[in-house]
Structure 1
Amino acid sequence: MTEAPFTYQADAFKVAIDCIVFGFDQNELKLLLIHRNFEPAQGNWSLMGGFLSINESLSDGAKRILYQLTGLQDIYLEQVYVFGDVDRDPVERVLSVCFYALIKIEDYDEALGNSHDAHWFPVQQRPELIFDHEQMIEAALSRLRRRAGYQPIGFELLPEKFTMMQLLNLYEAIYEREFDVGNFSKKILSLGILVKTNEKLRGESKKGSYLYSFDQASYDNVKEKGFRIIG
C-alpha cells in the first residue's frame, strides 16, 4: 500500500519591509519619517515601508521601497531584525523585516519625498511613531553604533570631501557623546584610510580646514587585520 505524500498546512500572513533612513546634516543625525496615508493609524508618523512582493528577496524589496520613496539607489543598507509579535498590527498578522539605510541628505530627492509627505527629524527629537516602529529605531541605532566602531560606514553619511571637524561631529552625533578633538584626529589618521586633499573649507577657522576623502583601496588593504575606528 502506497503511503500518501506528506502535506502540511500553514496560515497565511503578510511580510512587510520597514526602512529606517538615517541622514546627517553636518550637525545632527536625522531620521526620515512619513505621515501614514492609510488605515490603521492614518495620519500618524511612520517609518518608510511597504509589503514584500512574492517574487522578490528581502533586500530587493527594501531597495525597491527606498528607491520609490527617496529616488536613491546603491546606498548602504543592512537588515536589522524581524519584528513578529502577534498583535503588532491591529488589523491582521504582519511580520516586519526591519532594515536601516544611510544616505547623503544632499542626494535625497526632496520633491519626491514631499510627494510622500516625508520629513527629516533629529533622531533624538523624533515624534511618536505607530506600532513598534520605536523599537525598530532603537534596534537600528544600536546596530549602527556597533558597526560604526569597526567599519567605515559613517562615511556613507558624509559628502565625498569633508573636514576632520565634520567627521568628528558625525561620530559625536552617532554615539551621542563628545570626543577629544586631538585624540580623535590622531586615531582616525593613524588608520591610513583618509586622503588629505589640497583643498580647504573656509569658515571653520580663519585659515580654513583641509578637506579629506575616504580611501576605499587603503581600507580594503587593512581591513583583514582588524582595527577599531572608535574604542
Structure 2
Amino acid sequence: MSTGTIYGLGLGPGDPDLMSVKTHRLLTNAKHVAFFRKKGRTGQARKMVDGLIPEGAVEFAMEYPVTTEIPVTDPRYNQLLSAFYAEVSVHLRSLAEAGEDVVVLCEGDPFFYGSFMHLYTRLNHLVDVEVVPAITGMSGAWTATGAPITWGDDVLTVLMGTLEEKDLVRHMDDTDALVVMKIGRNFDKVVRALKVAEKYDDAWIVQFATMPNQTVTKLSEMTEKVTPYFSIIVVHGQGRRP
C-alpha cells in the first residue's frame, strides 16, 4: 500500500481570499485536517478555514502543552514542547503510513517562524511531506500601511520582540527597513529600542493584518491596548528610487 502525504498548508495572513489555489484545493478535498491550538481555544488557523473543511473530514487538534505560562528560557519549556511535537508527529506519521493524506493548517507561511517546521524536521525523512508556501503575515502588514516596505538597495530586517533590548537596538541601527514580530509581553521593550535607534517616529503598528478587524496606526499615536499575538511593527525603507 502506498503511503500518504503530509501537507504543511500555508493559509496566508488571514484573509481567505489570499490563500493560494493549491491550498484551497487541498483543503477543500481533505480527509484529515490537523491544526495547532491553545487549550480551550478554537485555534486561529482553524478559524481561518471555517466553512472550507469538507463534511466528514477528521479533525486533529494539536494542543500546546505550554505557551506563555513559563519563560522560554526555562529548560522545561523546550522539554515540554519537544515531547509534544514528538507525540503529534507519531500520530501524523501513522496516518501517512496507513495511506492517508493529511493537511496541517499553518498561519502565514509554514517555513516562516511557524510550528509546522518542528513537525517537518521530525517527519520529512520518514514519510512524504510537502510544504505549500503562502503570503506571510508581515507582507499583509506592510501592504496594509499603503506604502512600499523597501526601495532600491534597502536592507530589510525581521526581528523578534523576544530578543534582548541591546540586540534589538543593534539590529535596528543597522537596517533600512524593519519588521518586528512576536511583540507580546515585549511591547514596552520594543518601543524603547525603537526610540534609542531613532526609528520610533517612523514606525507603524498593524493589528490583525488582512482580517476584518485590521487596524493600522502610527506607533507614536497608539492609544488603545495592543493585541500582542496579531501585532506587527513596520518601519519603511526610504532608499534609492528613480
Q: TM-score, normalised by structure 2?
A: 0.27
Q: What's the TM-score, normalizing by structure 1?
A: 0.28
Name the one with the larger strand percent: 1
**Who wins on radius of gyration, i.e. which is larger?**
1
